[in-house]
């Protein structure tokens, strides 16, 4: 998977103390260790559904009076009702498939809805047969993910990557997948390298993934497997037209994080929003549920070669961007460790940060440069995603356009990898196509006029930029020490990140968390951990 290097990677400009940097990473690992252990010891309804999606279950029950219910939800909910999920869904599902002499998981789902199946956890030879059948089915799904990764590499090799850096990331958000396709194609023609399809408002709180193409989202379009397929096919066509591979982004977050990660792998998405704490802080999703789901989803992303984008920029929309700058650095270090533990290498680790300092503060631009340069130097091999101003966009479109220009300039000066295009109408309306065109013109001007300015950028060794960056790193180390002592879950409960207090025993989706029993079986987790797609074969 090709990842976007910085245009000119500034290294050593801050003269960071390597001992302090090493201490920060060591503390982040210690803070994350109990959470990783907790994630390994639990499963969730979403992890079990994602596993069955890899095994091939698709479709929905359209006869339900409350609306379509995905077959995978019907099956997992019934398994849990009959025999629990402590041993995973695969054993009872594939035992029932054989016991009832059914040919497909869809037939099993239909029989389940009709009340014709009683799920049990098999033992002895029946257990071995169910585990083997489940592993074969899941491996088949992972081979599809592997083929999509290879297809991406072939297309990048044939069509090429964008010549300029950073990559230009643009959002579409109409609510109608067909209209999204029109906007995405036009954005790519105007210079966008990455198209992000914003999800419909509230989808992260749905404990199911809708089926089919959708045309009625709110401030965004529903993330569904069919919508993924439609947009990927459209961007493949426009990629041939513009002569470069145009990447597609969506959101693997919320209550269906693992499932959406699987669907992204099955439909060759290239990037996914996937943060370890965003759902906890900003959607009030249970912390345990989130950490279990994000570990599995990141294992899927690693297998699929999907670049993740983390959500540190969101902290600065609720907390002060100067006072809370060190919490962004702490979150980046934690996200890095969680990603590495799940198998994601640095070149797939799109850590987030943002241009959110109040522009009326003296030296605000210099402070932004300090924060951006600190992220770049701490994570030199990661494709950092740099977010535009939103908090201090007032509705004055002229001032907003100027702020976005400064944001673009900071991006090229500090070697950012992925530049999310800021919109001058951010605080007024959902941007029109004309607004996007003007925003892209702003980016093109800055890249053309100052794209190589980083060659000449050397902050004074004792100046504000260097001093501020070292101060933020020092404050991050201090906070990590406190988190190690108190525990990460307690730190989240106390409102350490984004001023949001989220206790570990509360939040949406808490009832979907299950502690694994001895003998828990999940071939997806086993194959993802081992890097295999089938017995004896590595991906």
Tens of each residue's pLDDT in the chain, 539 residues: 556 655 555 668 999 999 999 999 999 999 999 999 999 999 999 999 999 999 999 999 887 665 689 999 999 999 999 999 999 999 999 999 999 999 999 999 999 999 999 999 999 999 999 999 999 999 999 999 999 999 999 999 999 998 888 999 999 989 999 999 999 999 999 999 999 999 999 999 999 999 999 999 988 999 999 999 999 999 999 999 999 999 999 999 999 999 999 999 999 999 999 988 889 988 999 999 999 999 999 999 999 999 999 988 888 888 899 999 999 999 999 999 999 999 999 999 999 999 999 999 999 999 999 999 999 999 999 999 999 999 999 989 999 999 999 999 999 999 999 999 999 988 777 777 788 889 999 999 999 999 899 999 999 999 999 999 999 999 999 999 999 999 999 999 999 888 889 999 999 999 999 999 999 999 999 999 987 655 444 44
Any bridge partners for residue 61, and if so which? 69
* Pair 212, 229: CB distance under 8 Å: no
* CA nearest neighbour of 269 among 209, 224, 335: 224
For the structural domain made of 18-34+160-474, what CATH number should be given? 3.20.20.440
Distances from the Cα of 492 to the Cαs of 225, 247, 287, 456, in angstroms? 33, 33, 8, 41
As a whole number of angstroms, the distance between CA 31 and CA 489 comes to 9
| Rounded (5°) CA angle 512-514-516 | 155
CA nearest neighbour of 375 among 3, 4, 9, 1: 9
User: Cβ(75)–Cβ(112) under 8 Å?
Assistant: yes
Residues noted as catalytic: 278, 313, 385
CB atoms near residue 460 (< 10 Å): 9
Counts of helices then strands in the chain (DSSP H, E)? 19, 15
**Residue 135 to residue 253: CA distance in whole angstroms:** 26
* Residue spans per domain, the chain: 18-34+160-474, 44-138
Q: Which two tokens stand for residue 350?
A: 């799109």
Strands (E), 300-391: 307-309, 349-350, 352-354, 385-387
Cis amide leading into 166 (omega within 30): yes
Question: What CA–CA distance (Å, rounded) separates 309 from 290?
Answer: 16
């Amino acid at each position: 998977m090709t990842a976007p290097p910085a245009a000119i990677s500034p290294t050593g400009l801050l003269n960071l103390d390597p001992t302090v940097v090493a201490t920060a990473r060591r503390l982040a690992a210690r803070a994350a260790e109990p959470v990783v252990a907790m994630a390994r010891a639990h499963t969730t309804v979403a992890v079990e559904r994602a596993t069955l999606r890899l095994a091939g279950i698709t479709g929905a029950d359209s006869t339900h009076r409350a609306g379509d219910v995905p077959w995978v939800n019907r099956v997992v909910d019934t398994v849990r009702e009959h025999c629990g999920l402590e041993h995973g869904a695969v054993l009872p599902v594939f035992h029932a498939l054989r016991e009832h002499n059914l040919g497909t998981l869809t037939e099993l789902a239909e029989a389940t809805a009709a009340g014709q199946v009683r799920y049990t956890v098999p033992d002895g030879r029946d257990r071995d047969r169910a585990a083997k059948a489940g592993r074969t089915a899941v491996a088949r799904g992972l081979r599809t993910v592997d083929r999509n990764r290879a297809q991406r590499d072939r297309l990048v090799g044939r069509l090429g990557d964008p010549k300029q850096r950073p990559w230009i990331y643009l959002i579409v958000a109409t609510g109608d997948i067909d209209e999204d396709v029109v906007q995405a194609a036009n954005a790519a023609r105007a210079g966008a390298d990455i198209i992000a399809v914003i999800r419909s408002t509230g989808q992260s709180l749905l404990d199911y993934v809708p089926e089919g193409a959708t045309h009625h989202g709110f401030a965004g379009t529903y993330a569904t497997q069919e919508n993924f397929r439609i947009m990927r096919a459209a961007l493949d066509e426009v990629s041939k037209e513009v002569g470069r591979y145009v990447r597609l982004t969506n959101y693997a977050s919320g209550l269906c994080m693992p499932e959406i990660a699987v669907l992204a792998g099955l439909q060759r998405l290239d990037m996914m929003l996937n943060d370890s704490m965003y759902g906890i802080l900003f959607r009030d999703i249970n912390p345990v549920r989130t950490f279990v789901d994000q570990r599995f989803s990141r294992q899927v992303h690693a297998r699929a070669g999907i670049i993740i984008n983390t959500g540190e920029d969101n902290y600065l929309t609720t907390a002060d961007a100067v006072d809370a700058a060190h919490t962004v650095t702490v979150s980046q270090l934690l996200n890095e460790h969680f990603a590495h533990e799940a198998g994601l290498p640095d070149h797939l680790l799109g850590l987030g940060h943002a241009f959110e300092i109040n522009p009326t503060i003296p030296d605000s631009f210099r402070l932004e440069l300090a924060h951006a340069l600190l992220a770049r130097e701490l994570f030199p091999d990661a494709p950092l995603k740099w977010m535009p101003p939103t908090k201090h966009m007032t509705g004055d479109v002229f001032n907003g356009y100027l702020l976005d220009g400064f944001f673009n300039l900071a991006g090229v000066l500090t070697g950012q990898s992925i530049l999310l295009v800021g919109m001058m109408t951010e605080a007024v309306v959902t941007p029109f196509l004309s607004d996007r065109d003007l925003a892209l013109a702003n980016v093109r001007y800055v890249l053309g006029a100052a794209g190589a300015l980083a060659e000449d950028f050397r902050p004074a060794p004792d100046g504000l930029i260097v001093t501020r960056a070292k101060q933020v790193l020092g404050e991050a180390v201090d906070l990590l020490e406190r988190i190690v002592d108190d525990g990460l879950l307690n730190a989240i409960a106390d409102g350490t990140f984004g001023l949001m207090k989220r206790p570990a025993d509360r939040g949406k989706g808490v009832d979907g968390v299950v502690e694994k029993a001895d003998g828990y079986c999940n071939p997806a987790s086993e194959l993802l951990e081992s890097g295999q797609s089938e017995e004896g074969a590595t991906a």
